Structure 1
Amino acid sequence: MARVVAVANLKGGIGKTTTVVNVGAGLALKGARVLLVDTDAQGNLAMALGVHPRRTLYDVLVDGAPVERCIIEARSGLDLLPADATLLGAQPIIARRPDWSRVLSQALQPVAGAYDFVLIDSAGSLTPLNVNALVCAHDVIAPTTVEHFSVKSLELLMAQIGRIKGGAGHVRMIIPTMYDPRVRQSGELLAMLHARYGDRVTPPVRVNVRLSEAPALGKTIYEYDPRSRGAIDYAMLVEHISRAFGFAVRPQPPAQADPAPVPQPAAAPYRSVPTANPEVCPHCGRALQHTSLAGYRISYCAQCRYKKQELVRDRQ
């Protein structure tokens, strides 16, 4: 059965949809089967992935349409159950049902076995559908910008999850987003998050204009600019989530060899400048950790946050 994860925070504009899109796409690139579910009437997931759905979550919850007929393939390994403005009309209808808090869970049950992960994008308020997302989810991931109002909203989210799920322990990760290491307040608030929530706080996603540009073109950050720091940070976050949830990369089928390769003239190698010891952090001397995503190999230090990326073909 799929690991159902709600991406939630009771504040808008903090990177929930950006996180759902790029974590989902990253997991799919690692071989996972991923379903994204949009419970926000703004329907931003479809726009961010450049798809134009004919059927949405409204058709499933209100009209009783089979959920598999409303899911569309957005990318290889990445499916989407989209939403649009019609979802505004679904909320009062759902609220009148005696089982109103479990309608989303019941709707997703027929397809849950087909996926490794179901990521649910939610709106920035406690609507009936947001309650459904929290009830349905095994775990909650909470993005938060590193600024006072957003950090404060985490306390309200924890309290609401405690009432809905019987404890705030279901919040598995807190993702600091739009982090600017040049701003002293950002560093202070990040330290406060670590002091209060401990190892639930993931490495931050740094502020990056590429992350805001990509959705307008219907692209993930890996498609739009895989060398950007936004792509690097989300690739590291995908690696963190994969380890936390015990997902192992699926081996890809071996490529068929060309029976008669055509000789090509030798080309100048494309290589980054080597360090004396590429497996050791040049700043603090700790051993580097590695992950690969979207054609890049990323080396990073868990101690001092040093990061380096290079094309996979650089090492061949």
Structure 2
Amino acid sequence: MTSTQASPAPVKADAAGDAFSHKLAAVADTVERFLVERLGPKVGPGEIARPERLMEAMRHAVLGGGKRLRPFLAVETARMLGGPEAGALAAGAAIELVHCYSLVHDDMPAMDNDDMRRGKPTVHKAYDEATAILVGDALQTLAFEIAADPQWQTDAEVRAAVVLGLARSSGLGGMVGGQLLDLAAEGRFGAVSLDVEDTLRMQAMKTGAILAFSVEAGAIVGRATPDERAALLRYGLALGQAFQIADDILDREASPEAMGKATGKDKDAGKATLVDRLGLEGARAECDRLVGVCEEAVSRWSERAETLRQAARFTVARKT
């Protein structure tokens, strides 16, 4: 085959990748503006005051970094279903605040003890540990305030479903419980050995639950039928699993400069990952399989689901 004949495929792939990157950046910019407004100095309804140091540290934790993949998934899922973008944006921003709170607490000395996050000092390094604890607390409660605000979700049933889903995915049976299992896997509370199924369960809770709910939140706002929600949940669960495996691969292979944080710490800490259980090539193969699961789950929406298919491919191909 000549070079002339071979050239169209990469050009098309690059164009598709560029279009997706543009969409991701556009939603991230919209989310950033929304969060800037929510984290300003103006006292809100029912508030007495907004302490300046707390607000500075919250902005440090949230603004100016991150791909905003979770709100992107909420917005794009709702958009695919014809749902209101304002409601999806608010739900996605609430999820992003929960994600940011988890990073603030996860970075602290009692947890992963990281000095850098998104290319800048972690909150407990830039401020202090007590402030970091309060920042996490404040971000979590602000997330639920936004999710419960009828300004964004005018329908009470939709509002309740978003709040309930966010609580379940981020709480004891989801992200928080997964964090505890992750610490246990390090041997914090005694010797333990996780097999593949144990590792998958821990990762599905720690990382996957919030990512899956990002998709489900878009489905709720977009008034998906029960059958449609079940399909989108399959997509979200597979995406969350693929995201964590890709993250584990990056922890082994990417540079700290590219990631904006220390790398190689998971292996040093003895954390349970599928890279350890399956090897790098096995982990990559599992990522590819999970992308296939994602694509099958949204096949009923045909071309309308192309952005979600691209999101799955992006999750395993990303370099940061």
Q: Same fold, TM exceeding 0.5?
A: no
When the two structures are superposed, what TM-score results if normalisation uses the length of structure 2?
Answer: 0.25
Greater radius of gyration (CA)? 1
More helix by share: 2
Higher RCO, 1 vs 2 (CA within 8 Å, ≥6 residues apart): 1
When the two structures are superposed, what TM-score results if normalisation uses the length of structure 1?
Answer: 0.25
More strand by share: 1
